[in-house]
Amino acid sequence: MAEMMLKASRMLSALLFVSSLLPWVHGEPQVPCYFIFGDSLFDNGNNNLLLNLGKVNYLPYGIDFPRGPTGRFSNGRNIGDAIAELLGFQGYIPSLNQAIVANNVLKGVNYASGGAGIRNETGRQEGDLVPMDEQLKNHRTIVSRITRMMGSKDSALKYLNKCIYTVDMGNNDYINNYFVPQFYSTSRQYNVEQFAAALIQQYSEQLKSLYDAGARKVAVMGLARGGCLPLSLATFGTNGSPCVEMINNAEQIFNNKLLSLINNLNANLSDARFTFINLFQIDGESAQGFNITDVGCCKVTSSGLCIPLSSPCSNRTDQQYAYWDSVHPTEARALIIGRRAYVAEEPTDAVPFDIRRLAQL
């Protein structure tokens, strides 16, 4: 009973905090710009122009978003939107195409692409996407544009040093690569320990490349609980467990190595302030506050995305559904996850510091 009351209290405080995100935070942003790298948890429309089955610029996606369907894998806002709001940005961080068309790059760019991973082949069974290496290439192009606007490389780097960067990569390398052997051979090439090591080695080079482009304040998301996704439950079964433990256990091997990598980067790169966001923990605990966790709010296709123009559940903004489709959180839960990344509720939510503290450094 005491544990249930604690969870209820925590959920109530979370929802009250989330309600404070509306309207937008007023005043100056805490940092001059915010750059977002990632997958479908953060994608805000970068897949829309690609030949890809994994794009969601159709209803019922965006049914609770002011602009309607934008390419966000949500009924409303996503985790990146929540973090941007809490950092004090007016309006949304633009997708790459929006930023280029509007010549609006100084407040940041969202490069995230649904299905993308650390490995370049990850998620390709769905079609075109933008993996981490390509997102970094796009960022270097934007940095060159900022350099021209600032007048010098030194001025641009000083500006970029002050920005916040979030990176959410690796989820698809498991659920859209390693654990889909019908499309990829990685599970035959590597055991779970070897695969995590290979991913971390490649990720290390990618994060160093981001550092070389001027990033100093970088929040790196650990993997969420891929074994608890409704899609995973339907695909693999659980043998009586709440989640597919072989997926969660493999992802935790990666997360442990990622935390070690973050510590190594901070120790060896001058002025680096990388931090680890424990999405595995935050994801699991945030879901506990919702009543339905094994299916999503909308009717889905075999790939786990909402059927176009289908009618979703009506109680999307309360504590009923943890998942919007079979893979992604509802807006209500995405805002809670973003808040805990910004302000840690527990010491292990963010190591060595949360995003609010990162912005202050």
Catalytic residues, which ones? 40, 325, 328
Report residue 55 as tokens.
């794009």
Distance in Å from the first CA to the final CA of the chain: 41
CB 91 within 8 A of CB 77: no
- 3-state secondary structure labels for all residues of 139-200: HHHHHHHHHHHHCCHHHHHHHHHCCEEEECCCHHHHHHHHCCCCCCCHHHHCCHHHHHHHHH
* Nearest by Cα to 41 from 349, 282, 269: 282
User: CA torsion sign, 39 to 40 to 44 to 49?
Assistant: positive
- 3-state secondary structure labels for all residues of 211-235: HHCCCCEEEEECCCCHHHCHHHHHH
Q: What 3-state DSSP class applies to 118?
A: coil
CB 249 within 8 A of CB 192: yes
Q: Cα–Cα distance between 124 and 118 in angstroms, integer?
A: 12
Query: E strands, the chain, where?
Result: 34-37, 164-167, 217-221, 273-277, 292-296, 321-323, 350-351
